[in-house]
């Protein structure tokens, strides 16, 4: 680390809120469609050992104008879409959708001995990309590179992550909107992890235990937004978190249900397209 590196401090702490989606799936949600997390929009945590909380799943539904990234800790999800993709992700796997102009998909849960635990992240697309063709990709746990240290581990889902000692990894998801980067970090009690991260937007969602982030203790179920700087310091009271880094689009956001556009008239067009059957047409 250079001596000029500045430590990033937490400038906002946002608790997740209980919600439900799909067919009664119980989730904890953080969202900001006002641009406060730009280019990220929403993070849902699905987690329960009670099958009634999630087995209804997410029957077929449309999306337009953003990307989704789903990451499974326990259990699994089976994805099907109108493009003919069908795949099942399990513990440690991820799936990514560039919804672009339009995709209709379903995600149905699978359980393991620890129930279901996973995340879905919404990443906004820039205006110029909102009506591009839809694509889908899954990534297996074994494809994700890891940075292991003394009591710490970083699993790179996408983007570039580098420790301050210079060792870095590149996650396989290389087309995340807003130059996005996503990683899963685990720290044992007393462990430390220092990263060079100068992306304008940097978020950390703690989902197990607690972590000291930039000098502030962040408990599970809270999203920390980091202020400006170039260095992220994490230390453990034994915890796990998702790290999200990216570059804001700085564009207006118009949101209605599964559609994210820039202006109200574009949302109305998406609804018309969905009703008249031209939603997914090239």
Determine contact, residues 281/82, Cβ cutoff 8 Å: no
What is the token pair recorded at 208? 């197990």
Nearest in space to 205 (alpha carbons), one of 65, 67, 31, 61: 31
Q: For residue range 201-244, list pLDDT tens digits in order.
A: 999 999 999 999 998 999 999 999 999 999 999 998 899 999 99
Give residue 5's pLDDT band: very low, low, confident or very high (50, 70, 90). confident
Residue 20 CA to residue 208 CA, distance in Å, equals 21
Report the helix count and the strand count for the chain, using DSSP H and E. 1, 22
Determine contact, residues 224/206, Cβ cutoff 8 Å: yes
Q: For residue range 40-60, list pLDDT tens digits in order.
A: 999 999 886 666 666 667 777
Q: How far apart are the first and last CA of the chain?
A: 48
Residue 97 CA to residue 7 CA, distance in Å, equals 33
Instruction: Look over the chain and give the mean of its residue pLDDT values, rounded to a whole number.
Output: 92
Whether 187 has a pLDDT exceeding 50, the answer reads yes
CA 7 to chain centre: 24
pLDDT (mean) for 64-78: 94
Residue 255 CA to residue 40 CA, distance in Å, equals 13
The model carries a pTM of 0.94
What is the token pair recorded at 94? 């991820």
What is the token pair recorded at 271? 């609804």
Element (H, E) at 169: strand 168-172
Domains parsed from the chain with CATH numbers:
14-143+265-282 (2.60.120.10), 146-251 (2.60.120.10)
27 to 17, 23, 30, 132: CA distances (angstroms): 8, 11, 10, 30
Nearest in space to 95 (alpha carbons), one of 152, 34, 144, 168: 144
CB atoms within 10 A of CB 264: 11
pLDDT (mean) for 161-181: 97
Residue 170 CA to residue 158 CA, distance in Å, equals 7
The pLDDT value given to residue 282 = 59
Q: 247, exposed or middle or buried, with CB in 10 Å at 0-12, 13-18, 19+?
A: middle
> What are the phi and psi torsion angles at 142 (to 5°)?
-70, -15
CA quadruple 152, 141, 95, 209: dihedral, nearest 10: -30
Residue 47 CA to residue 68 CA, distance in Å, equals 18
What is the token pair recorded at 66? 């953003």
Residue 106 CA to residue 58 CA, distance in Å, equals 6
Residue 272 CA to residue 252 CA, distance in Å, equals 21
The pLDDT value given to residue 256 = 93
Q: For residue range 138-150, list pLDDT tens digits in order.
A: 999 999 999 999 9
**Hey, what long-range contacts does 271-276 have (CB within 8 A, 24 or more apart)?**
273/102, 274/62, 274/102
């Amino acid at each position: 680390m250079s001596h000029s590196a500045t430590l990033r401090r937490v400038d906002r702490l946002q608790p997740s809120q209980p919600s439900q989606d799909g067919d009664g799936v119980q989730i904890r949600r953080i969202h900001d469609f006002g641009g406060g997390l730009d280019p990220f929009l929403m993070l849902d945590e699905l987690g329960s050992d009670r099958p009634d909380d999630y087995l209804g799943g997410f029957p077929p539904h449309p999306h337009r104008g953003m990307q989704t990234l789903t990451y499974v800790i326990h259990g699994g999800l089976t994805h099907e879409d109108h493009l003919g993709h069908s795949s099942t992700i399990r513990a440690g796997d991820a799936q990514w959708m560039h919804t672009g102009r339009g995709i209709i998909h379903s995600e149905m849960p699978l359980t393991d001995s620890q129930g279901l635990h996973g995340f879905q992240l919404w990443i906004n697309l820039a205006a110029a990309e909102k009506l591009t063709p839809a694509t889908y990709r899954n990534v297996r746990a074994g494809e994700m590179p890891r940075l292991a240290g003394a009591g710490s581990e970083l699993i790179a889902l996408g983007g570039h992550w580098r420790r301050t000692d210079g060792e870095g990894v590149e996650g396989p998801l290389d087309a995340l909107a807003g130059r996005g980067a996503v990683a899963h970090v685990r720290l044992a009690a007393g462990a430390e992890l220092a990263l060079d991260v100068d992306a304008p937007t940097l978020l950390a969602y703690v989902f197990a235990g607690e972590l000291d982030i930039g000098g502030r203790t962040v408990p599970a179920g809270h999203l920390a937004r980091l202020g400006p700087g170039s260095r992220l310091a994490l230390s453990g009271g034994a915890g796990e978190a998702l790290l999200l880094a990216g570059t804001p689009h700085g564009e207006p956001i118009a949101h209605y249900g599964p559609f994210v556009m820039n202006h109200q008239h574009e949302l109305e067009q998406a609804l018309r397209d969905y009703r008249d059957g031209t939603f997914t047409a090239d």
